Chains A and B, each alone.
Chain A
Amino acid sequence: MECPNADHMTHLLKKEPSRIPINGTFELTIRCNLHCKMCMFRHDDSENTDIVHRELTADQWIKLANEVSRAGTFSLLLTGGEPMLRSDFCELYEGIYKQGFILTLYTNATLVTPRIMETLRRYPPHRIGITIYGASSETYERVCADASSFDRMREGVKQLRSLPSILDFRTTVINDNYADVDAIETMLRTEFGESCRLTQARMVNRSVRGACADVDACRLEPEDNVRLALRRSINIIKSYVGDRYDEKYLAIRLADNSDAEKHPRLTLFGCDAGMDSYAISWDGKLLGCQMMGAFALDVLDGSFTSAWKRFPGIVKLPPLNETCQACESLGICNCCWASRLAETGDLGGCPEYVCRDTAIVRALLNK
């Protein structure tokens, strides 16, 4: 007998689309020597003893690296917390490197020792992402609660620059370093070379997965957030067109997204998470991404490959809330399942901070 729902079922998948874990993130530790006010991941120091006990050992990370390499991971990000804080960082790093990845290392550059440099010289990562939080000790004190880390960062960057790796400089802007952004860029260019560029997190979300930061108390108001993004974009345009820059020709337009619309793809979260990218947390949990802690599988309880296979089965998302569903700005909104969860504590929530930011962007587009 023919199924009465057959017409409605033409969209059902006959088999699961192929998922290959090409891009991985290893969160080597959640601990950090700095105490940034807006840190999304660092736990309260009182938890450190327990965290050290539960962190994967160097051998476990190396074994995992071997496993993910055989499962198809090609690009691997090593991040934290601060990875260099681990006393076994050198052994761990060397063991992972030898499995053969396009390797990126994220660091705050304040813990670069001669021993670490010796290891990195022998096995240079393809990229190093360095986070810079200010252009003075005072700003480092305000943002990271450690004035001396400013000079350590500068020394660390000088050392890292001697490697053949590509260096990316990144920052997160909050009220306490808002006034420093231009000074950071100048410092990068004068101290570390004209070609140094600074990228900035577009929006600072509330902390996730048990982290302790009170982000609301320090992040920018959405107005300042958008103003900063706009000003920095204009600076980039000016650096290309020079004296020919004229504000009256400035137009803000939506990027052409028609190609993506023409070729919709199957996802778990509306992005690559869990489809061709993943993160493994400091305590050995497979996550869709570092920000999304709601769905997790233990990779030590079996293998990475079996956890990766089972992962889609544990992802259960609620329907999108009605406000977002009906929102005319859904297409330009920075919101995703992880940021909804971070901002509202609820996967289906509607994040007020993001809404305010998006409303300003919408107004600029309508102008």
Chain B
Amino acid sequence: MKNQEELTKHPSISFIACEAEALNNMASLSDAELKLVLEKMGYRFTKKFCASPNYLHRRVADMDVLLSIGGNIVNFNGYIEMNRSAAVLWDKLQQECSAADMEQALQDEFNISHEKAVEDVLDFLKFLQENNMVTVI
């Protein structure tokens, strides 16, 4: 039997059956809608994310802020204000986690629908990636 390392190295292709109609509609979908459709079709999103160590979460008065620290101040010398849901997601990202883990954290904390959580997490990750604030694993 192959060991675990060989299995993960081995190239693999998975076929996902799509309904023709769903495929036709995909072009007009938003990122969040597309993700939900793919989820329904059984696609598994395996990417993991982790917060950049260049930012430190501080709670100041009633505010959540991310403070740029270390050598990162050469790129951005200041801080970013976050709302509560962004703060929950940032704290979740202190350990490697998937988009699904983050969506679940939002749903648990704020009692929102799965659809809304998917949309919020996608927006948040997009912002983080654009600003080099997250590592994609």
Residues of chain A whose beta carbon lies under 8 Å from any beta carbon of chain B: 20, 22, 69, 72, 74, 97, 100-102, 122-124, 126, 164-166
Q: Which of A20, A101, A126 contacts B73 (CB 8 A)?
A: A126
User: Which of B60, B67, B78 has its CB near the most chain A CB atoms (within 10 A)?
Assistant: B60
CA distance A122 to B56 in the complex (A): 15
Assess whether B1 is interfacial by the CB under 8 Å rule: no
Q: Is the CB of A22 within 8 A of B61?
A: yes
For residue B63, which residue of chain A has the nearest CB?
Answer: A74
A283 to chain B, nearest CB (A): 27
- Residues from chain A with Cβ under 8 Å of B61 in the complex: 20, 22, 72
- Complex Cα gap A69–B59 (Å): 9
Give Cα A74–Cα B80 distance, bound, in whole angstroms: 12
A contact face: mostly helix, strand, loop, or mixed? loop
Q: Is the Cβ of A74 less than 8 Å from the Cβ of B60? A: yes
Q: Which of A20, A123, A126, A166 has the most CB of B within 10 A?
A: A126
Query: Do B73 and A100 touch (CB < 8 A)?
Result: no
Which of A22, A72, A102 has its CB near the most chain B CB atoms (within 10 A)? A102
Bound-complex Cα distance A69 to B70 (A): 18
Contact of B69 among A20, A72, A74, A100 (CB under 8 A): A100
Q: Are A124 and B67 in contact (CB under 8 A)?
A: no
* Residues of B in contact with A (beta carbons under 8 Å apart): 56, 58, 60-61, 65, 67, 69-71, 73-74, 77-79
Asked if B67 and A164 sit within 8 Å, CB to CB, the answer is no
Q: How far is the CB of B75 from chain A (nearest CB, A)?
A: 8
| Assembly CA distance A100 to B74 (angstroms) | 17
Taking CB atoms, residues of chain A closer than 8 Å to B74 are 164
User: Which residues from chain A contact B73 at a C-beta distance below 8 Å?
Assistant: 124, 126, 164-165
Closest A-B pairs by Cβ, 7 of them:
A164-B74, A100-B56, A74-B60, A164-B73, A20-B61, A100-B58, A72-B61
- Complex: how many Å from CA A123 to CA B71? 7
Q: A22-B60, A72-B60 are in contact. Are A102 and B71 (CB under 8 A)?
A: no
Name 15 A/B residue pairs within 8 A (Cβ), A-sorted: A20-B61, A22-B61, A74-B58, A74-B60, A97-B69, A100-B58, A100-B67, A102-B78, A102-B79, A123-B69, A123-B70, A124-B70, A126-B77, A164-B71, A164-B74
B58 to chain A, nearest CB (A): 5
Name A74's closest neighbour in chain B (CB-CB).
B60
B71 touches A124 (CB 8 A): yes
- What is the distance, in angstroms, from B16's C-beta to the closest C-beta of chain A? 45
Minimum distance in angstroms from B71 CB to a CB of chain A: 6
CB distance from B62 to the nearest CB of A (A): 9
The docked-state distance in angstroms from the alpha carbon of A122 to that of B79 is 19
Q: Which residues of B are found within 8 Å of A97, using beta-carbon distances?
A: 69
Contact A122 B70 (CB under 8 A): yes
Min CB distance B78 to A, Å, is 8
A101 to B74, CA, bound (A): 16
Output the least CB separation between A355 and chain B (Å). Answer: 39
How far, in Å, is A17 (CB) from chain B's closest CB? 14
Contact partners of A102 in chain B: CB under 8 A: 67, 78-79
Q: What is the bound-complex CA distance between A33 and B69, given in angstroms?
A: 30
CA distance A98 to B136 in the complex (A): 26
Which residues of A have CB within 8 Å of B58? Answer: 69, 74, 100
How far, in Å, is A276 (CB) from chain B's closest CB? 9
A165 to B68 Cα, complex, angstroms = 12
Complex Cα spacing A124 to B73, Å: 8
Residues of A within 8 A of B69 (CB): 97, 100, 123
Distance A97 CA – B71 CA, assembled complex (angstroms): 13
Q: Which residues of A contact B65 (CB under 8 A)?
A: 74
Q: Which residue of A lies closest to B69 (CB)?
A: A100
